[in-house]
Amino acid sequence: MTGLLIFVARHGRYALVAGLLAGLLLPGVAQTLRPYLPQMVAFLLFLTALRIGPKAALAGLADGLGTLRIALIYQLAMPLAALGLFMALGISGTPFAVAIVLMLAAPSVTGSPNITLLLGHDPEPAFRILILGTAILPLTIIPVFWLSPDLGNLWGAFLAALRLLASIWLAVLVAFALRHFAAPNLSVQKAGALDGLMAIAMAVVVVGLMAALGPALRDGPLLVLKWLSVVMVANLGLQIAAFHVLRRLGLAKTAVPFGVVAGNRNFALFLIALPAATTDPLLIFLGCYQVPMYLTAILMRRLYATPVDDQA
């Protein structure tokens, strides 16, 4: 079994593609998995924390202030700038504008450390910004929601952020305790097996996330293609821009994990706070959003393979 998991880890990015295809081609399975998405995402985060371990996570806190600055830029400055632009253009209430602002206001997806690992880079910075970004979310969403009533109910978003924070910390603390007492030092084989298990878990999670996309693709393919174009540009464009800016600022060692986080956000968190009239198109956005997210390990591999010491 360990050998099989290590094999999956070596080819993990293709496991994610298989998950995307399964979500589209097996709508019945996707609908079955959809109610269990919160538990599956929590389990994925548990595996990530188990893989990184408390020692590496605590060591990364030495750069906590730098990570906090990046999180504030991502979750506060960027959505407010986008909101200001959309208000100036008179389109702040459109599904497109609402989706983009909510995406920018969201913290990292729980799978960002896994994606970073699949790209061959240290997942700890992505894990760090996931934890810090989620911790400050109840505060950063206040000005964003306050300035735009089109985004939905502020109190609902605040409670959703607190629930997310509680579930993340529960999963992380349980994983850290298990790692500390059962396996303080992972062998290369055990680390590889965990990487393979995380790739499988991510592939299963994406099947459930694609539940709304299959039916939408059959009923309105042009609408799906429109949203897919939007999410591809938004997700990959943010990753490319963040990667290059961070390298220019001398942060090459964290440019990949922070670049991954820039485009891959936990947008689904806010759906429960939205007015019912805007929910349907945003569910299609959510389904389409999984495509660039789960293809990041393939589409961005060449860019993210740029040597760390190359500052040009």
**CATH number of the domain within which 270 lies:** 1.20.1530.20
- State the pLDDT at residue 38: 77
pLDDT tens track for 14-65: 888 888 888 888 888 888 887 887 788 788 888 888 888 887 777 666 667 8
Closest CA to 51 of 222, 175, 157, 212: 175
pTM: 0.82
Within-domain flag for 307: no
**Helix, strand, or coil here: 93?**
coil
Question: What domain count does the chain have?
Answer: 1
Is 158 contained in some domain? yes
| Number of other residues whose CB lies within 10 A of the CB of residue 259 | 28
CB 49 within 8 A of CB 171: yes
Q: Would residue 13 count as lying in a domain?
A: yes
Q: Radius of gyration of the chain from Cα atoms?
A: 19
Report d(CA 286, CA 255) in Å as an integer: 25
Q: What is the CB-side half-sphere exposure of residue 171 using CA atoms within 13 A?
A: 23
Cα distances from 116 to residues 29, 172, 211, in angstroms, run 27, 18, 25
Residues 25, 268, 13: CA angle, nearest 5 degrees: 50
Write out pLDDT tens, residues 153-206: 777 778 877 877 788 888 889 998 999 888 888 788 888 888 888 888 888 888
Give the per-residue pLDDT at 278: 62
- Residue 301's CB: how many other CB atoms inside 10 A? 14
Average pLDDT value over all residues in the chain: 85
Structural domain that includes position 127: 2-301
Per residue in 257-298, pLDDT tens? 999 999 999 887 776 566 666 666 777 888 889 899 989 999
Question: Residue 306: inside a domain, yes or no?
Answer: no
307/222 Cα distance (integer angstroms): 40
What single-letter DSSP state applies at residue 198?
H
